[in-house]
Amino acid sequence: MIRFYKEKDYTAMSYRAASFIAAQVLNKPASVLGLATGSSPIGMYEELAKKVADGKITFQHATSVNLDEYYGLAPEHDQSYRYFMEQNFFSKVDIPHERTFLPNGLAADAAAECARYDALIDSLGGIDIQVLGIGRDGHIGFNEPGAAFIPGTNHVKLTDDTIDANARFFASADDVPRYALTMGIRAIMQAKTILMVANGAGKAAILEAAFFGPVTPEVPASILQLHPNVIVCGDTDAMAEIEKNHPGVFAN
């Protein structure tokens, strides 16, 4: 089942998305949270930090596993996803640092690191709620469009589109790492709940394609149509194509 929430702006989208994470840790304090980086979930992380500061929720008993990390960047690099998570979430909430996990971007043996990460997720009993953004090409994590869905954590070459989209964070496109380690489709699909956040007009077409088009590895997010419990929180701009062509689907 897919529930679509259309919110008036980024703040309202972030608030809505945060409410699902808050409910998750209230219901199950020792939840395993699958987390994402990128611009889409930043407001949600801010809202969650407020809820922790206000004493409404705690992440003291939670564990987190992030979707992905650039391969070749040290955790201290200001564009690494570890750094992003420290800045935007981990340092602002009470989650124990030793229970926050990302793929190790400096692992010498990428294949061994991928296997280790899958074993780690399995040893945690899988993911309770997985936060996802969506790339303009339909990627989730760094699972890029391709000929097949890749089940396990994998070492991927980033597409030109993704390098372009991420170049804004680096001095130039040449500085964007070419490879990343990303959780695969199996761990994502085995998450009990999927929480996607998407904002801005640039996501409108791909959101419609992902959730109303064919299920195909050419649009990696389309596999989520086969997941039993998906929540998609978007602002009006991101939901524009869905609203135009499937106006009856919204839960709010």
Catalytic pick among 68, 113, 118, 208: 68
Q: Is 6 helix (H, G, I), strand (E, B) or coil?
A: strand
Tokens of 40: 């889409």
If you count them, how many residues does the chain have? 252
Chain residue at closest Cβ approach to ligand F6R: 133
Which residues are near ligand F6R by CB under 6 A? 36-40, 67-68, 133-135, 139-142
Catalytic pick among 7, 113, 118, 144: 144
Tokens of 43: 């407001």
**Based on CB atoms, which residue is closest to ligand F6R, 56 or 175?**
175
Instruction: Please confirm, yes or no, whether 144 is among the known catalytic residues.
Output: yes
Instruction: Please confirm, yes or no, whether 218 is among the known catalytic residues.
Output: no
Closest approach of ligand F6R to the CB of residue 243, in Å: 20
**Based on CB atoms, which residue is closest to ligand F6R, 40 or 64?**
40
Tokens of 112: 């061994």
DSSP 8-class letter at 62: -
**Based on CB atoms, which residue is closest to ligand F6R, 24 or 40?**
40
CA 166 and chain centroid, separation: 15
**Based on CB atoms, which residue is closest to ligand F6R, 53 or 201?**
201
Closest approach of ligand F6R to the CB of residue 140, in Å: 6
Catalytic pick among 47, 69, 113, 137: 137
Residue burial 183-195, b: 16+ Cβ < 10 Å; e: rest: bbbebbbebbbbb
Of 104, 112, 106, 100, give the one whose Cα is nearest residue 34.
Answer: 100
- Rg of the chain on CA atoms, in Å: 17
Instruction: Please confirm, yes or no, whether 94 is among the known catalytic residues.
Output: no
Closest approach of ligand F6R to the CB of residue 20, in Å: 16
Closest approach of ligand F6R to the CB of residue 182, in Å: 7
Instruction: Please confirm, yes or no, whether 68 is among the known catalytic residues.
Output: yes
Q: What are phi and psi of 195, to 5 degrees?
A: -120, 105
Tell me which amino acid residue 125 is.
Answer: G
Q: Which residues are marked as active site? A: 68, 137, 139, 144
